[in-house]
Structure 1
Amino acid sequence: MPKTLAAALPEYLPTLPFFKKMQIADVFLLADDVMFSRQSPVQRCRIRTADGELWLSVPVLQKQRGRQNIGDVIIDETRNWRQKHWRNLRHSYQFSAYFDFFADEFSAMFDYRRQRLLDVNIASIETLCKCLQLLPEIVRASAIAIPETGGASERIAELTIACGCDVYLASPGDRRFLDETAFKKRGIQLQYLQDSGSGENWYSAVDALFQKGPVALR
């Protein structure tokens, strides 16, 4: 029986498509060994408010640190970001149908101080998985040794094999750079997640969760 791998950057409070891929996949790979990019979904998420959209960004230390892998990025805890993010979420969603049902999970997440951005992001992913009733098998790319390869497609195909999978589930936007030949050569079937085109895909999954509850992925 085919076994499917999906992968994504370890995002902060990710969007629904992140979890839709996770829902379909047998194994979910977090690409924690790539270069960190400021103002990417790894550092920030978008929520909906009465005044429009709002970005929640985790402050990080970068001065004199040069280019860093995601797993090496340290949070700037001199900024009161955890309390601010939780306050913004409460203010934006406190009257949503399922906010009270899940509030304690997120309050506990923001109460706990973590040093690395990766650890914060994994905590946010695990919290949303619990609320969305997902039980994924999650692995980190940094923990997997694969042969040296020529490019992104070859590397992803090798990671698929290393995870014991023979199908790779990609995002619609990945069509621009993935080379199907690299997968076929290794006996890997390349599939793409269907793009629903829904506007809620732009927001953190907390938006749909607080409004729809655990059925947000249906």
Structure 2
Amino acid sequence: MNILLHPTYFPDVAHMAAIAQSDVVTFEMDDNFAKQTYRTRTYIYGANGKLLLNIPVVYTQKNRQKYRDVKVSNAENWQSIHWKSLLSAYKTSPFFEYYEDDLHPLFEMKVDYILDYNLKCFEVISECLQLEKSILKTEEFKHEVEDASDLRHLVNPKLDLNFQNEKYTQVFDDKHGFINNLSVLDLLFNEGPNALDYLENQDLSL
């Protein structure tokens, strides 16, 4: 199966399951940017339940911009805030310390463009998962594609995706129960080396 996806910020389980079960992954590189999508956000499991981590960007709706041209706003130290949120949420998880040294540099590196940063995050996550895939990148935007399954709609966080037929243990599930389709970081910190098998075995109807 060949799939077409948007690069997103620490992709959710739906994105990563689709990638894990595909033969070839093509990233959409030539679309227009839209706010309030997984391009700039991801959700983790905090002590009070579902927690949004959002990357601020320099963007205005007045002038249409390509995703690849949108810059990150570093006026506030969002990387430090995100890392502290991950520490608070997952420091007691079974595998946080195992991946901490791989992930921490992402929250200290200089970030200019959101698309470049998301691709770097995906690269590191793939290494953590030991996921090896053929990655292609589009050179022009097409509304319809014929040579791949178009999963670009997964970038919309308002989709109600309740596909996880197999639950895994989450840090705070005794308080709030199982939360579906969080960032792959949640799966990684809780399942460790078993995370890739979990992704490969999800029954996707996306």
TM-score category, normalised to shorter length: 0.7 to 0.9
Aligned to 1:124: 121
Aligned to 2:104: 107
Asked if the contact 2:164/2:181 (under 8 Å) is kept, the reply is: no
SS of equivalent residue, structure 1 residue 28: strand
CA distance in 1, matches of 2:185, 2:107: 14
Aligned AA (1:38):
K
User: Identity of aligned pairs, percent?
Assistant: 28
- Report the TM-score when normalising by structure 2: 0.78
Q: Could you list the per-position Cα deviations for residues 123-173 of structure 1 after superposition, in whole angstroms to 9, with x for gaps in the alignment? A: 11111111111011111113xx69xx7xx33xx11xx2xxxxxxx3455x7
Superposition deviation, residue 87 in structure 1: 0.9
CA distance in 2, matches of 1:40, 1:140: 20
Q: Which runs of at least 4 in structure 1 moved beyond 2 Å after TM superposition?
A: 168-171, 194-202
Asked if the contact 1:200/1:208 (under 8 Å) is kept, the reply is: no
SS of equivalent residue, structure 2 residue 19: helix
Aligned length in residues: 179
Q: Report the CA distance shift for 1:64/1:42 in structure 2 as closer, same or farther (over 3 A).
A: closer
- Report the TM-score when normalising by structure 1: 0.74
| Aligned: 1:17 with 2:30 | no
CA distance in 1, matches of 2:4, 2:26: 4
**Structure 1 unmatched ranges of 5 or more:** 161-167, 175-193
| Aligned: 1:72 with 2:69 | yes
SS of equivalent residue, structure 1 residue 14: coil
Aligned to 2:2: 5
Aligned to 2:164: 196
SS of equivalent residue, structure 1 residue 54: strand
Q: Could you list the per-position Cα deviations for residues 37-64 of structure 1 after superposition, in whole angstroms to 9, with x for gaps in the alignment? A: 1110001011111111111111100148
**Root mean square deviation, CA, Å:** 2.4
Higher helix fraction: Structure 1 or Structure 2? Answer: 1
| Aligned: 1:216 with 2:184 | no
The equivalences for 1:1-218 within 5 A come to 4-63=1-60, 66-142=63-139, 152-153=143-144, 156-157=145-146, 160=147, 168-171=148-151, 195-196=163-164, 200-217=179-196, 218=198
Q: Could you list the per-position Cα deviations for residues 76-118 of structure 1 after superposition, in whole angstroms to 9, with x for gaps in the alignment? A: 1112111111111111000000000001111011111121000
Q: Report the CA distance shift for 1:67/1:201 in structure 2 as closer, same or farther (over 3 A).
A: farther
Q: Could you list the per-position Cα deviations for residues 23-43 of structure 1 after superposition, in whole angstroms to 9, with x for gaps in the alignment? A: 122211111211111110001
Asked if the contact 1:25/1:169 (under 8 Å) is kept, the reply is: no
Aligned AA (2:107):
F
CA distance in 2, matches of 1:57, 1:131: 22
Larger Rg: 1
CA distance in 2, matches of 1:108, 1:129: 15
Query: Which protein, 1 or 2, shows the higher relative CO under an 8 Å CA cutoff with sep ≥ 6?
Result: 2
Superposition deviation, residue 67 in structure 1: 1.4
